[in-house]
């Protein structure tokens, strides 16, 4: 998570320190002017600025969520570019103003002391509000780039807490920090991070259709760089550099970095420290803790505090409550009145007789439909294109009398509802036409007939594998019975890998899988339990010095169970929907069991098993490829690259006929294998939804 957290940590620390220094100067000036009674006005302005920043973030989040997928990309990209502009301006402003910040703030406070309470509130609000808005915008942008990661918010929180601690130390005069150097160093780092945010924003604008060239790649290193490795994750999270980037991203990133960093470095070099005459009082600046109020101002420069007339006319709590509440109310109003009411309020009937009742042509964009089952049967309901049967959204298992929300993105086109009761025919509603631009992603449905061909191909693959496995387990049992335990270890690995490559059929094997490949986990006696059987029982004995006599019965039992499975498999019910599910689950189990070493009973061959599982996944993708190619043409090239990357990493752990045990992998190799497997799992995750069997009318 640190890779996503660091940019936000830096912005939180820097902006928090800027705002904190300003507040410290305000407070110190009032305290030394004998105007402690006016401190409440400062804190009121500060709270108002915080409320404004939080409200701004809420409005951004709601606005993005209310847009279509394409519009979200354009919106996010635009704000990314704006955030870069703000951060760039902030970096240069602080470089120029650091040496005179304290004096400027004190001058403003001095002037405000002679006026009403509102002036001091506004002074503190404006001084802190800019930092709050910049922080909210930049954090929103980095959070969008990080997806579901909590890293940006965590990093920002840590940065703000650390900034508060530093400001307290400066105010209490227990710390001395060269703030000019601090803001110079962090400014240079922020320029590099902002270049990455700009590249990310330009990519969003391309995907949103605002800018051209979304398929014009400057480079594509996805086949040679491990995207799941720690170093790749760190570079992508901190710098927003990805293995694949378009020409516009590269030009924007490089151009911004070259121009802005050159101007920034030149400005730093041209600044010369001001010479202070001997004996003259030191000018207030950020080089010392005076920026937090370390030097006493002379009494002559600060007029006595004048009580505000307004405080006599209204309670003291009115202004603080008002300035904190108003931004929140405005944000709430924007969310409330900006919500697309027609789509959100539309209730659609689901039943055999009333399917689609209440459905009218919605507006383009992200819509919410309340699906109410008015019939007497549990139903599934799909929002479809009636011409192609493409599915835009669905609700499964809607019980009679219940209502559930269905959220879908609607663009220009034709839409209808398809109600599929638990028994009886599917019903399709009258179609409506939606006018407007944009695009909406849909899934072309798959029927049992579509999966019939791939299922037969895979069953033939399993039949062939089981026939091979029968001979291998017989050889294993014969070698153990003859006392050839050294040869039996090789036989065991050969047979176990054959079985492991049949992963998509495990759910069909019924009880045979537990007898053939069951683990000792959960058994009362563990590896010594009488019910511990199959490959792992034989593995434990072969690599823990058991005699041939004690292993003969378990090996013969294993061979018998494999023969039983071979005879039973042609008559077992192989659910076609298992194929798309197993495309993801085989390697999910590999990551959970093999790559943790959990299933190693002494042979140290978990990586060999992972290799066999990958072979089984590859075979499964081969039979599903025609269906996936027409539904997600960009998915398979990505998955193929992931498979090749993981295969290369596994091959590196193989030395002739021996495999490096998982527990003996160095930290880098283990992280690479886990990362590559995780990346492949992520890219395979859409397969079950893409190839889910859906009933047509």
- pLDDT at residue 288 tops 50: no
Give the Å distances, CA to CA, from 578 to 20, 21, 451, 516: 58, 61, 10, 20
126 close to 299: Cβ distance less than 8 angstroms? no
**In the prediction, which pLDDT does 495 show?**
96
List CB contacts of 124: < 8 A, sequence separation 6 or more.
Answer: 22, 23, 26, 41, 42, 43, 44, 45, 46, 49
Q: Residue 504 pLDDT > 50, yes or no?
A: yes
DSSP state for residue 240 in the 8-state scheme:
-
pLDDT at 600: 93
Q: Is 643 left (phi over 0), alpha (psi -120 to 50) or beta?
A: alpha
pLDDT tops 90 at residue 466: yes
Does residue 563 carry a pLDDT above 70? yes
Q: Which of 86-90, 107-111, 333-337, 630-634 has the highest mean pLDDT?
A: 630-634
Highest mean pLDDT among 67-71, 172-176, 426-430, 440-444: 426-430
**Alpha-carbon span 421 to 426, nearest angstrom:** 7
State CA 197 to chain mean position distance.
Answer: 16
Q: For residue 298, what pLDDT is reported?
A: 33
Q: Each residue of 245-257: pLDDT tens digit?
A: 888 888 998 999 8
pLDDT at 572: 85
Residue 193 has pLDDT above 70, yes or no: yes
CA atoms 201, 203, 205, 208: torsion sign: negative
What are the tokens at 121?
A: 């509130």
Q: How long a stretch of residues is the chain?
A: 697
Alpha-carbon distance of 537 to 531, in angstroms, equals 9
| 205, 211 contact by CB (below 8 A) | yes
Specify the pLDDT at position 170.
Answer: 73
For residue 649, what pLDDT is reported? 93
pLDDT-derived band at 72 (thresholds 50, 70, 90) equals: low
pLDDT of residue 550: 95
pLDDT at 281 over 60: no
Contact at 8 Å (CB) between 56 and 137? yes
Task: Identify any residues that bridge with 64 across adjacent strands, giving them in sequence order.
Answer: none
Please give the pLDDT value at position 106. Answer: 58
**Range among 168-172, 375-379, 434-438 with highest mean pLDDT value:** 375-379
Provide the pLDDT for residue 111. 57
Average pLDDT of the residues in 231-256: 77
**304 pLDDT higher than 50:** no
Note the pLDDT of residue 622. 93
Q: Are 418 and 462 in contact (CB under 8 A)?
A: no
- Whole-number pLDDT of residue 183: 72
Rounded average pLDDT over 209-232: 68
Mean local confidence (pLDDT), 528-546: 94
635 contacts 583 by C-beta, under 8 angstroms: no
Does residue 284 register a pLDDT over 50?
A: no
Between residues 301 and 681, the one the model is more confident about? 681
Res 439: pLDDT: 67
Q: Residue 307 pLDDT more than 60?
A: no
At residue 163, the pLDDT reads 78
Strands 365-373 and 654-655, sheet pairing: unpaired
| Rounded alpha-carbon distances, angstroms, from residue 118 to 28, 153, 204, 323 | 19, 33, 42, 11
Please state, in angstroms and rounded to a whole number, the distance separating the CA atoms of residues 190 and 196.
10
Question: How many helices (H) and strands (E) in the chain?
Answer: 22, 12
DSSP character string of 435-502: --------B--B-HHHHHHHHHHHHHHHHHHHHHHHHHHHHHHHHHHTT-HHHHHHHHHHHHHHHHTT
- d(C-alpha 639, C-alpha 682), whole Å: 9
Min mean pLDDT across 51-65, 350-364, 406-420, 423-437 is at 51-65
Q: What is the pLDDT of residue 270?
A: 62
340-374 as b/e: b if 16+ CB within 10 A: eeebeeeebbbbbebbbbebeebebbbbbbebbbb
Average pLDDT over residues 478-495: 95
Tokens of 456: 């037969």
Question: Per-residue DSSP letters for 602-649?
Answer: SS--HHHHHHHHHHHHHHHHHHHHHHHHHH-TTHHHHHHHHHHHHHHH
Range with the poorest average pLDDT among 1-5, 103-107, 608-612: 1-5
At 140-150, the pLDDT tens digits run: 666 665 554 56
Tell me the pLDDT band of 299, cut-offs 50, 70 and 90: very low
pLDDT mean over 399-422: 89
* The residue to which tokens 């991203």 are assigned: 249
The pLDDT confidence band at residue 327, using thresholds 50, 70 and 90, is low
Give the pLDDT band (50/70/90) at residue 70.
Answer: low
* Secondary element (H or E) of residue 523: none
Q: pTM higher than 0.85, yes or no?
A: no
Specify the pLDDT at position 437.
63
Mean pLDDT calculated for residue range 195-218: 79
Mean pLDDT value of segment 468-478: 96
> Is the distance from CB of 94 to CB of 18 less than 8 angstroms?
yes
**Nearest one of 51, 663, 41, 71 to 411, comparing CA atoms:** 71
How much is the pLDDT for 459? 92
> How far are the Cα atoms of 398, 539, 559 from residue 467, in angstroms, in the given order?
44, 22, 12
Average pLDDT, the chain: 78
| pLDDT greater than 60 at residue 351 | yes
**What's the confidence (pLDDT) of residue 312?**
46
Q: Over 60: is that where the pLDDT of 328 sits?
A: no
Share of the chain above pLDDT 90, in %: 28
User: What's the pLDDT at 460?
Assistant: 93
593 or 97: which leads in pLDDT:
593
**What is the average pLDDT across 346-358?**
91
């Amino acid at each position: 998570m640190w890779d996503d957290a660091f940019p936000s940590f830096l912005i939180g620390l820097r902006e928090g320190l800027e705002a904190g220094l300003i507040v410290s100067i305000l407070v110190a000036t009032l305290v030394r002017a004998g105007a402690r009674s006016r401190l409440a006005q400062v804190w009121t302005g500060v709270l108002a600025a915080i409320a404004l920043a939080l409200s701004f973030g809420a409005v951004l989040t709601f606005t993005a969520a209310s847009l279509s997928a394409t519009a979200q990309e354009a919106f996010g990209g635009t704000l990314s570019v704006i955030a870069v502009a703000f951060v760039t301006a902030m970096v240069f402003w602080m470089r120029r103003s650091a040496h005179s910040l304290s004096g400027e703030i004190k001058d403003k406070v001095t002037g405000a002391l002679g006026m009403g309470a509102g002036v001091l509130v506004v002074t503190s609000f404006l001084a802190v509000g800019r930092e709050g808005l910049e922080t909210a915008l930049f954090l929103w942008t980095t959070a969008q780039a990080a997806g579901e990661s909590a890293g940006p918010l965590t990093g920002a929180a840590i940065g703000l807490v650390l900034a508060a601690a530093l400001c307290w130390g400066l105010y209490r005069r227990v710390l001395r920090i060269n703030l000019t150097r601090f803001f110079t160093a962090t400014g240079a780092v922020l320029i590099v991070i902002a270049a990455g945010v700009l590249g990310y924003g330009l990519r969003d604008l391309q995907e949103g259709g605002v800018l051209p060239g979304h398929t014009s790649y400057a480079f594509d290193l996805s086949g040679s760089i491990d995207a799941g490795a720690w170093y790749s994750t760190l570079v992508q999270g901190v710098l927003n550099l990805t293995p694949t980037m378009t020409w516009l991203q590269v030009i924007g990133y490089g151009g911004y970095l070259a121009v802005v960093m050159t101007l920034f470095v030149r400005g730093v070099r041209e600044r010369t420290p001001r010479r202070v005459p001997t004996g003259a009082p030191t000018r207030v600046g950020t080089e010392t803790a005076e920026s937090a109020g370390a030097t006493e101002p002379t009494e002559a420069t600060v007029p006595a505090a004048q009580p505000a007339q307004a405080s006599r006319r209204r309670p003291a709590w009115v202004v603080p409550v008002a300035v904190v509440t108003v931004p929140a109310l405005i944000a709430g109003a924007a969310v409330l009145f900006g919500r697309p009411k027609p789509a959100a309020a539309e209730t659609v009937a689901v039943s055999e007789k009333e399917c689609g009742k209440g459905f009218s042509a919605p507006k383009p964009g992200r819509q919410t439909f309340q699906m109410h089952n008015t019939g007497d049967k549990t139903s599934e309901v799909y929002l479809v294109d009636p011409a192609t049967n493409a599915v835009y959204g669905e609700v499964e298992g809607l019980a009679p009398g219940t209502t559930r929300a269905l959220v879908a993105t609607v663009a220009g086109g034709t839409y209808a509802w398809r109600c599929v009761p638990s028994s009886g025919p599917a019903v399709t509603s009258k179609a409506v036409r939606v006018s407007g631009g944009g695009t909406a992603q849909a899934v072309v449905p798959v029927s049992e007939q579509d999966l019939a061909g791939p299922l037969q191909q895979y069953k033939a693959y399993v039949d062939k594998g089981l026939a091979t496995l029968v001979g291998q387990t017989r050889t294993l049992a014969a070698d153990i019975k003859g006392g050839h335990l050294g040869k039996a270890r090789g036989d065991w690995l050969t047979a176990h890998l054959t079985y492991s490559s049949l992963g998509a059929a495990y759910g069909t094997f019924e009880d045979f899988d537990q007898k053939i490949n069951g683990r000792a986990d959960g058994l009362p006696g563990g590896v010594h339990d009488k019910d511990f059987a199959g490959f792992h029982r034989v593995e434990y004995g072969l690599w823990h010095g058991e005699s041939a006599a004690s292993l003969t019965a378990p090996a013969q039992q294993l061979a018998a169970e494999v023969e039983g499975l071979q005879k039973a498999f042609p008559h077992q019910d192989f659910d076609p929907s298992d194929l798309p599910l197993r495309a993801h689950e085989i390697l999910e189990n590999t990551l959970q069991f093999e790559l943790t070493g959990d299933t190693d009973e002494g042979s140290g061959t978990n990586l060999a098993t992972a290799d066999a599982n990958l072979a089984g996944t590859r075979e499964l993708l081969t039979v599903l490829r025609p269906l996936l190619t027409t539904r997600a043409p960009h998915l398979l090239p990505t998955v193929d690259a992931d498979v090749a990357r993981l295969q290369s990493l596994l091959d590196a752990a193989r030395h002739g006929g021996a495999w490096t045990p998982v527990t003996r992998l160095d930290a880098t190799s283990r992280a690479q294998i886990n990362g590559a497997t995780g990346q492949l799992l992520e890219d395979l995750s859409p397969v079950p939804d893409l190839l889910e069997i859906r009933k047509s009318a």
